[in-house]
Chain A
Amino acid sequence: MLPRPFRVVERRQDTVDTATLTLEPVEGAPLTFAPGQFTMLGLLGVGEVPISISGDPGGALLLHTIRDVGGVTHALVEAQVGDLLEVRGPYGTGWGVEQGRGGDVVIVAGGIGLAPLRPALLRLLAERERYGRVALLCGARSPADQLYPDELVRWRDHGIDVATIVDHGAAGWPGRVGLVTALIPGIHIDPAHTLALACGPEVMMRYVALALLDRGLASERIRLSMERTMKCGVGLCGHCQFREFFACVDGPVFDYSELAPLLAIREV
């Protein structure tokens, strides 16, 4: 529960409202984590928020990609090299990518949802030979809002089938325009040997899950990362309660088989 101080060693502005901070511990061992986990990231005197880890699980540095959507996230996005941040965690369940070994993996990301999926992709790439086809489908509001555009090119070069789509494109935009689910019919899916991971706005994930079910995937093979307001991060305060689940300890990554009945209930 005690926060550890981390220093910002690099800051990159990803989009107009999103930045990636690279952090290293002021003292002690680097943070080890599983892809899909998050930390409670804070600034002394401002507050703390749950932020998914977006770095390499095999690396020594801690990366967080943060979108400026409120007071605390605004302060975090504005952090500069040399600033000290407070880190608790890592917390929560991971994607369980290794359970997809020997089969195919489909990753569907919407907007900032690509950030929590990045560690899973890096883990896949680190042991690429242990997986079959890997498809990454990315939706974004506009081309300028697409996260990690340079990495998408690199991942494609390393054997990932990358497809992107945006909600709006200016004339001359050569890519796809539409909903991210429009990318799903175009990919190869072997339902019995495919693991699907999805992260993005909850409404998007519901439609993505339905589209994957339509392609024959069992709900146990679809994993979604749920966003809920969190406070303690360790299952004590109940802020992130999701009926019988606490998103911070039982999630944020859930099997769709667990979530499907809950997603149909209003106000849960």
Chain B
Amino acid sequence: MRGIDELLREHPFFAGLDDEALALIAGCAANRHMHAGQYLYREGDPAETFFVIRHGRIALEAHRPAGGAVVIETVEDGEVLGWSWLIPPHRWLFDAHVVEDTSAVVFDGTCLRGKCDADPVLGYALLQRVAQVMLSRLQAARVRLLDLYGVPGASSR
């Protein structure tokens, strides 16, 4: 059976981190399998976990008073889920719904923050990676705001 640090080494999020750093943070993580239909967390819950997706698909959902839930975004193989564990007030803003059976390395957010506080070089390396994920999702969200596939010119009518 492969160790957590080995699973992390092959994940794109951790590309460039050395073995020592991976071994250090591996102590905060466990390998988990989650079944389709399961909710990992709900809007408003404390954000204390960081999901490194190995295989599967998870949907971020928002609830509307009328019309039910809508999927905001999905994350899957080679991606990560959750940055609220890192940034106060450590609270989830959306529901995380497993839509396909998923395998992930799941970090305890408090433990991981502790390692980052104790080793700022490691903390900066992780923050850079989280910031990269945030940047790409922010840019994608901005482009989606343009409603590119809508009727041309409809928004300005």
Contacts and interface: CB of A to CB of B under 8 A. Distances in A.
Given A171-B68, A174-B99, A203 B146 contact: yes
Contact of B148 (A170, A186, A204): A204
Contacts of A201: 148-149
B69 A171 contact: yes
A201 B154 CA distance: 14
B76 A176 contact: yes
Contacts of A186: 77-78
B73 A177 contact: yes
A145 interface: yes
Contact of B149 (A145, A176, A177, A178): A145
A55 to B, nearest CB: 23
B42 interface: no
Contacts of A174: 57, 99-100
* Contact residues on A (Cβ < 8 Å of other chain), bracket: 20 to 34
B147 interface: yes
Interface in B52-94: 57, 59, 61, 68-74, 76-78
B151 interface: yes
A176 B70 contact: no
* Contact residues on B (Cβ < 8 Å of other chain), bracket: 20 to 34
Contacts of A170: 68-71
Contacts of B148: 110-111, 200-201, 203-204
Interface string A112-148: 0000000000000000000000000001110001000
A17 B151 contact: yes
Interface residues of chain A: helix, strand, loop or mixed (majority): mixed
B81 to A, nearest CB: 13
A69 interface: yes
Interface in A147-198: 167-171, 173-179, 181-182, 185-186
Given A176-B57, A181-B140, 4 more contacts: A168-B71, A171-B68, A175-B74, A185-B12
> 5 closest Cβ contacts across the A-B interface?
A171-B69, A111-B149, A141-B149, A179-B140, A169-B71
Interface of B: 12, 57, 59, 61, 68-74, 76-78, 97, 99-100, 140, 143-144, 146-152
Interface of A: 17, 69, 110-111, 139-141, 145, 167-171, 173-179, 181-182, 185-186, 200-201, 203-204, 207
16 contacts: A17-B151, A110-B148, A167-B149, A170-B69, A170-B70, A170-B71, A171-B61, A171-B68, A171-B71, A174-B99, A181-B140, A185-B78, A200-B149, A201-B148, A203-B148, A204-B143
